Chain A
Amino acid sequence: MSDPRVHQADAELEAPSTRHQSQWRATVSALLANRLAVFGLVMLTALVLTALFADLLIRQPINAQNLADRFAPPSSQYWFGTDDLGRDVFSRVVVGARVSLQVGVVSVGISLVAGTLIGLWAGYRGGWIDTVWMRAMDVLFAFPVILLAIALVAVLGPSLRNTMIAVGIVFTPIFARVVRGSVLSVREELHVRAVRSLGASDRRIILRHVLPNVAAPIIVQASLSLAFAILTEAALSYIGVGVQPPDPAWGYMLSDAQRFQRQGWWLSVFPGAAIFLSVMAFNLLGDGLRDALDPKQRSVIESRGVE
């Protein structure tokens, strides 16, 4: 035991030869092995490219009316047909992608930042700060998503910007809960306690140790929430309190289509398919991310859905 050579032999490691595969690389390869997630990813890429290059893709100015060609069925000239004012449905669906993505990204961005800050603060501090914030979140959470969004838009006034704010507020409690739950468990992990025992400040612990460890559930939640945010925006626009004309939104294209159901199936099918595909794409990606990052993680949003 006291032979110093034995001592050395066990203790020493060879100098590093191979680089460690980082966790992110492992996550990416797990994600790429999941076919549904890859399918979602491909569709999302298409959606994002469509939104980015909408101006190049459209075949007509979106509000250009060709009253002579009202209710034209899909053809080589009007790929998705025309609507009651003779506007090109394809061009409107393409630009609608931009609106939907914008609402999704901005509103989820709002709820992600607000929810993460609240969850971090409440979970790390605990005590009455935790109680007050989480009670407030519970109250918000208790309302059906659409009802709450309608109420908020009613207060703020219907517009694209206010739709984003309303959807952002509605989804904040979901992030706050997910983050707080993760913080509560991460905070008690021994390696976090070990860093605290060295004299690390709260700031350092939260930024360097807690946040990276709650990043995975936040990313998963963001992906799933994007799907529901797009759906919520569509629903708000459908009932007329969301995005306002002349901005083309899939939701109110659908509600317009309903009035002319007998004149043309294409009026509802294309915007409907666009909503369906983008929501599904975000969902598939979100599920794939969750499985890749942590198979055990279960999302709060699943139990909620959109009423």
Chain B
Amino acid sequence: MSDPLLQVDDLHVHFPAGGRAVGGKRNPVRAVDGISFSIERGRTLGLVGESGCGKSTTGLSILRLVEPTSGTVTFDGTDLGNLGRKDLRRFRRRAAMIFQDPYASLDPRRTVGDAIGEALDIHDLHQGRQARATRVAELLERVGLHPDTGSRYPHEFSGGQRQRVGIARALAVEPDFLVCDEPIAALDVSIQAQVLNLLAELQDELQLTYLFIAHDLAAVQHVSDRIAVMYLGRIVEEGDRRDVITDPQHPYTRALLSAVPVPDPVAERQRSRVELVGDVPSPMNPPSGCRFRTRCPRVFEACGRIDPDLIPVGGGEGSVGGGHTAACLLHGEVGQPVERSEHPDANEIEAGLDGALPNR
């Protein structure tokens, strides 16, 4: 059972601060600041969090398109940190990426057939022009496009169609693992489901493993086996999809969940909402203690002092990797006085806000 294809341990990615500092050194941007997770073969981990919390950086650093500052990424038993340039390129055949912006991720000067064909060229995956064209047509058809559209330019395609081209290009290298970085965020609502369905079909057919990135839980909850919730460079809650959705343990997860519309209008009106107030703090200067404390409706005194670790919570089995974990002081010793595990209702949130304002 426990045979992860991808294992990430204590990954940090810090970017040097821009050069506009007036005297003295600026803090680095701590885009990813110590995260660990693993993904089993053939499964999907959904990575959710607001824009700017480090999701893309996480995906990019797994493929080493961005160099990690520290930490290890192990893919199929190999530590990627040790790969030389050649091996790294070989690894990139096994892991591919689908990008959020289907407009910018294709070169406007090249036909889509050329874009897909280049993926074949890079790894010598064809014998001759004819075979290349045949394979490109096959890939286009596989993602639901007309096989003869290879001679067209990206601007002739709609957003959804371009995203299909992006998927075809990623599939061309015959990967085992795909980082899907908000693949539907830029698409019309009407075609989001189609692209999600396509990704699900491909996963079944080709036994793909996905890291599926999204900024809201709506997209992630249907496609993921497990869900990790990210805030300001950290994972704050991780667990089986059902556990995280039905029994969220971190106040941030609850806030994200309450932003997901419920299809039933009656339930939609009745359910409690947790509005996130304020802005996300700068990753150059994260708050002391719990990073979520400046916006947390449940914040209390200890939150400014103690930086909570991910610990087993809720009804999950509690084993590492298979369980349900959250990083909040409401769980564990410090948080004993506060009752847990219920969905927060409006009063409770009010009380939380009145009781303890963030101590900056």
Instruction: State the CA gap A14–B197 with chains docked (Å).
Output: 22
Say yes or no for B70: interface residue by CB 8 A criterion: no
Q: Are B105 and A11 in contact (CB under 8 A)?
A: no
Q: Does B122 contact A (CB under 8 A)?
A: yes
Docked-complex contact A16 and B151, CB < 8 angstroms:
yes
Q: Which of B74-109 contact A (CB under 8 A)?
A: 88-93, 96-97, 99, 101, 104-109
Q: Is the CB of A197 within 8 A of B97?
A: yes
Q: Kindly identify which residue among A6, A190, A192, A195 contacts B101, using a CB–CB cutoff of 8 Å.
A: A190
Decide: A194 near B152, CB < 8 A? Known: A10-B191, A11-B161, A11-B164: no
Hey, which bits of chain A sit against chain B, CB under 8 A?
Answer: 1-2, 6-8, 10-16, 20, 23, 189-201, 204, 208-209, 212-213
Q: By the criterion CB–CB under 8 Å, are A196 and B145 in contact?
A: no
Q: Is B15 an interface residue (CB 8 A)?
A: no
**A-side contacts of B173, CB under 8 Å:** 198-199
Nearest-CB residue, chain A, relative to B92? A199
Given contacts A10-B160, A13-B161, A199-B88, 4 further A-B contacts (CB under 8 A): A16-B152, A23-B109, A197-B63, A199-B91
The CA of A189 and the CA of B103, in the complex, are separated in Å by 11
Contact residues in A for B169 (Cβ distance below 8 Å): 194, 198
Asked if B37 lies at the interface with its beta carbon under 8 angstroms from chain A, I say no
A-B contact count (CB 8 A): 102
In the complex with contacts A189-B104, A190-B105, A8-B144 CB distance below 8 A = yes
Taking the closest CB of chain B, its distance from the CB of A194, in whole angstroms, is 5
| CB contact between A2 and one of B89, B119, B145, B197 (< 8 Å): that residue | B197
Give the residues in chain A near B91, CB-CB below 8 Å.
199
Q: How far is the CA of A197 from the CA of B169 in the complex (A)?
A: 11
Residue contact B122 to A198, C-beta cutoff 8 Å: yes
Residue B123, interface by CB 8 Å: yes
A189 to B101 Cα, complex, angstroms: 11
Q: Name the residue among A11, A193, A197, A204 with the largest chain B CB count within 10 angstroms.
A: A197
CB-contact partner of A1 in B104, B107, B151, B197, under 8 A: B197
Q: What A residues does B160 contact at CB under 8 A?
A: 10-11
Chain B residues with CB under 8 Å of A2's CB are: 197
Q: How far is the CA of A191 from the CA of B151 in the complex (A)?
A: 18
The answer to the question of B345 belonging to the interface, with a C-beta cut-off of 8 Å to chain A, is no
Cα-based distance from A15 to B60 in the complex (angstroms) = 35
- Do A20 and B109 contact each other (CB < 8 Å), given the known contacts A13-B146, A197-B65, A204-B122? no
B40 at the interface (CB under 8 A from A): no
**Complex-state Cα separation, A200 to B152, whole angstroms:** 23
**B148 CB-CB contact with A under 8 Å:** yes
1/0 per residue, CB under 8 A from A, across B139-158: the answer is: 00001111011011100111
Nearest chain A CB to B183 CB, angstrom units: 13
Question: When each residue 94-138 of chain B gets 1 if its CB lies under 8 Å from chain A and 0 otherwise, what string results?
Answer: 001101010011111101000000110011000000000000000
B194 on the A face (CB < 8 A): yes
Q: Which listed residue, A13, A14, A16, A201, touches B89 by the CB 8 Å rule?
A: A201
Q: Which of B151, B157, B194 has the most CB of A within 10 A?
A: B194
* A191 x B105 contact (CB < 8 A): yes
Contact between B144 and A7 (Cβ–Cβ < 8 Å)? Answer: yes
Given contacts A11-B144, A198-B169, A198-B173, contact A16 B149 (CB under 8 A): yes
A-B contact pairs, 15 of them (CB 8 A): A1-B194, A10-B158, A11-B161, A11-B164, A13-B145, A13-B161, A16-B152, A194-B97, A194-B166, A197-B65, A198-B93, A198-B173, A199-B122, A199-B173, A209-B107
